[in-house]
Every structure is written in structure tokens, then in C-alpha cells.
Homo-oligomer: A and B are copies of this chain.
């Protein structure tokens, strides 16, 4: 018998996903959260926007705009750069995805309930991304900025390194 897939993806609360997690559930949850959020705010999650969101959630890796475009073209003739960039802009504005500045790429947000700048751990090897929401980090930065009279509006925090799984594989 196969080992049961992890049914409640707790890693969304700040860790890298287990190798065998039920990723279909990640996508479903993300779409469900998006539907709920858009319903609540009176925003329109159109077919294209939903599809781009699903494609961003294809994995826990960041995805480039033109990679999304290629995939979109497979099923949507006439897709062009503005098609995907408009969808990305919408999803960013909603807080459904984040942009990773250091990679020019996009990643789904697992906690889109309130708008926030993300804190990201990015593995150099497997390319997976984990989003943190560590108040200690953001407060440390905020207080340091405060002392200089600087009013923080948005924090871009992207930490590159090696995730636990990849470190184990390397030594093995």
C-alpha cells in the first residue's frame, strides 16, 4: 500500500513542502481561496486569471511570465504578452501571487487573506520557494528604519540558499 499523502499541507505556514505532499490539493486550495477572496472583494476572477493562477501554482517554484505565456498558448490561441501580464498584475494586486524580484518570476501566495510583502527562502538547487511570515523579521527591519525616520511601505526580502532536503541529498 502506498503511504498516504499528507492531507493538510501545514508547510503553507512557512516551510518547504514534503516531497510526497498532495500538490493537487495545494492548487485546489489556492483556487478556492482566490474565489473566496474575489467574491468577498467584488473582483472578477475570469477564466484567464484563474488559469494563470493555476499555472503559477503548477509547483512551488517561481515561474516566469513567458513560461506562463507558452503554457497558456497551448490552450488559448491568441494569448500574447499583455494577456499574461494583465493577469499577473491582477493577481499581484489581489495578493494572490507574489513577484520574486531577484528572479523576475512569480509564485503563488499560500496566505492571501491579507495583503503583505512576502519573505522568501529560495533554494538554489531545487528552485523551490518557501514563504515566511515572520513578524520578528519585519519588525526588526521596521524598527531600524523608524530610528532613521524612514517610513516603510514595502519590504522585499528574498533569501537565497540551500534547503534542508537538498543539503541532505548533497552530503549523501
Interface, chain A (partner B; CB < 8 A): 14-16, 101-102, 121, 123-124, 130, 132, 134, 136-137, 140-141, 144-145, 148-164, 167
Contacts and interface: CB of A to CB of B under 8 A. Distances in A.
Contacts of A132: 144
A162 B153 contact: yes
A151 B125 CA distance: 12
Given A121-B145, A134-B144, A140-B136, A102 B156 contact: yes
Given A132-B144, A136-B144, A140-B136, A101 B15 contact: no
Nearest to A99: B102
B157 A161 contact: no
Given A16-B148, A102-B101, A148-B121, A141 B156 contact: no
A160 B156 contact: yes
Given A153-B160, A155-B160, A157-B157, 17 more contacts: A16-B150, A101-B101, A121-B150, A132-B144, A136-B144, A137-B141, A137-B144, A145-B161, A149-B164, A150-B163, A151-B161, A151-B167, A152-B159, A153-B162, A154-B159, A156-B158, A156-B160
